Chains A and B, each alone.
Chain A
């Protein structure tokens, strides 16, 4: 396994260590975010002409799932505006630590919440309402504002970034899929950390804050919970932190054994399949049910949605691995082998998003000139006509993503199966079946 240390380049190193480049991006993001909230609340109720819908659910989503997550892991979290106001209040500073820190409660998050189940739930809540959320500017504005305020509230009560780590509906899957990315932040030399006094990377110092994600960098073995905030690069007095370029999905060689993470893999896999069928399929009844929140059709939709994710998908998976001769308990095999579904799920989302994004990208051009849908024409592009983009490469690209994801997941399954000493064949066949269904839904 070869790694290339990017931080050896002095330009990259200084750009990451300095607070100013990040702050510049933060400010742009925060302004954009607040504008998206306002646009959602006061702009046109027509989603495809409102900045909040077009820039959040088409532009941001495209960049997130097609570029940021696959190539930079938690790179989005490094510049995300949602936790900023809360974090700045909690720190009493925007840049380096102040002389006197504000006395917030600084509680530790209770043990029972220190996992990603809350994130699983918050994601599912949004997912069940997604047809409304994705298409109604008002609702998008309210949800964006709610996340901002929830992050502020949690920063006031708990220490560090409790919102990012335990509640953010987006952060959960970014963390899961960040394990597949070819970028990582790790320590260079374990011995230096062992003898390091005070562990400023975790506890903070004059130079910077203790890890906002409540991670001890010295113990990092996977990307899931490191938000790439670069704080430890600033605090480590021994220059022991590196950002490395590495092979894709290096973290998945050591499979996780956590149930919350295993179910996250099923939640994401299942939601991608359901969205492909409901949103992009030709079946009007599903769309009606998904959109008409509160009606009995919607309740049936919600029950089916949750059963696919919690019963059908994990159920067949369990049946497949049930018989294996193994000394390990089923639960552990389940969690370890579900690792194979991480690259597959990511590629399902890529394939689904390609269709959604390429079809609707032309709305971005129009919304740029008329972000509130009030008849402005800032750059003369307000009347750009809707036109699907790159249609001829869409289906081949989707096949490439899905079949590539299948191969990737088969290789991951082989490694995971090796670790727990069982056969990888049932997992590979399972991946093949779900991939075939996804191909049928999308093509």
Chain B
């Protein structure tokens, strides 16, 4: 009986950690422009950080072959021919961390040509770490009880 009670407590706590809404501190949206150089098989810079609500302009410049840039979760993309540049503007209205990746086959390591866009804080990572902590807590408590 007690076991199920504890399990229930932990599941509830887990749901809170995973889904409880977090307050979003109001930050005035900005306009941001990034110039991203693309080469086989990397972007530079490869990590971008913006605030939620920002209007983001990506200027993709390819330095060797044709490359693309597709943003996971936003489902938007651009392509840049060798030596050329292309721009993409969007509003970063989804919070969290998103990979961006080349979407035009550009050579062997193409599927792993990846960068990362973080909009605001990467809440899902912190929620996941919270869940992991909770899980370990539960395990340690159950060890104590058995001992």
Q: Does B114 contact A (CB under 8 A)?
A: yes
B112 touches A287 (CB 8 A): yes
Binds B, one of A129-137, A189-197, A231-239: A129-137
A:232-269 near B, CB below 8 Å: none
Least CB distance from A440 to B in Å reads: 6
28 residue pairs from A and B, CB less than 8 Å apart: A48-B110, A48-B111, A131-B109, A135-B109, A135-B111, A136-B108, A280-B112, A282-B43, A282-B114, A283-B46, A284-B41, A284-B44, A287-B42, A291-B109, A359-B111, A388-B72, A395-B96, A407-B138, A410-B139, A414-B139, A414-B142, A414-B143, A423-B143, A431-B136, A432-B136, A439-B132, A440-B125, A443-B125
User: Contact flags (1/0) for B106-147 with A, using CB distance below 8 Å?
Assistant: 001111111110000010110111011101101110110010
- A176-B122 Cα distance, complex, nearest whole Å: 34
* A281 proximity list for chain B (CB < 8 A): 114, 116
* B132 proximity list for chain A (CB < 8 A): 402-403, 406, 432, 435-436, 439
Q: Does B89 contact A (CB under 8 A)?
A: no
Q: Interface on A for B, CB 8 Å cutoff?
A: 46-49, 131-132, 135-136, 279-285, 287-288, 291, 356, 359-360, 386, 388, 391-392, 395-396, 399, 402-403, 406-407, 410-411, 413-414, 423-425, 428-429, 431-432, 435-436, 439-440, 443
* B105 proximity list for chain A (CB < 8 A): 46, 48-49
Cβ contact of B41, chosen from A46, A136, A291, A406, cutoff 8 A: A291
Given the interface pairs A391-B72, A391-B73, the reply to whether A280 lies near B136 with Cβ below 8 Å is no
Least CB distance from A261 to B in Å reads: 23
Cβ contact of A288, chosen from B42, B125, B139, B142, cutoff 8 A: B42
- A425-B133 Cα distance, complex, nearest whole Å: 14
Q: Name the CB-closest residue of A to B46.
A: A282
Q: Does B87 contact A (CB under 8 A)?
A: no
B:56-104 near A, CB below 8 Å: 70, 72-73, 75, 96-97, 99, 101, 103
- A406-B105 Cα distance, complex, nearest whole Å: 36
* Number of chain B residues close to chain A: CB under 8 A: 43
B128 touches A443 (CB 8 A): yes
* B111 proximity list for chain A (CB < 8 A): 47-48, 135, 356, 359-360
- A291-B14 Cα distance, complex, nearest whole Å: 40
- A359-B103 Cα distance, complex, nearest whole Å: 11
Q: Does B47 contact A (CB under 8 A)?
A: yes
* B70 proximity list for chain A (CB < 8 A): 388
- A288-B39 Cα distance, complex, nearest whole Å: 11
A282 touches B112 (CB 8 A): no
* A284 proximity list for chain B (CB < 8 A): 41-44, 46
Least CB distance from B99 to A in Å reads: 7
B:9-29 near A, CB below 8 Å: 18
Given the interface pairs A280-B114, A360-B111, A424-B143, the reply to whether A406 lies near B135 with Cβ below 8 Å is yes
- A376-B116 Cα distance, complex, nearest whole Å: 35
A429 touches B136 (CB 8 A): yes
Cβ contact of B131, chosen from A283, A403, A414, A424, cutoff 8 A: A403
Given the interface pairs A386-B103, A428-B140, the reply to whether A407 lies near B125 with Cβ below 8 Å is no
Cβ contact of B108, chosen from A291, A410, A411, cutoff 8 A: A291
Least CB distance from B114 to A in Å reads: 6
- A47-B109 Cα distance, complex, nearest whole Å: 9
- A280-B41 Cα distance, complex, nearest whole Å: 12
- A179-B74 Cα distance, complex, nearest whole Å: 40
B143 touches A443 (CB 8 A): no
- A392-B73 Cα distance, complex, nearest whole Å: 7
* A436 proximity list for chain B (CB < 8 A): 129, 132
B112 touches A279 (CB 8 A): yes
A443 touches B122 (CB 8 A): yes
B128 touches A132 (CB 8 A): no
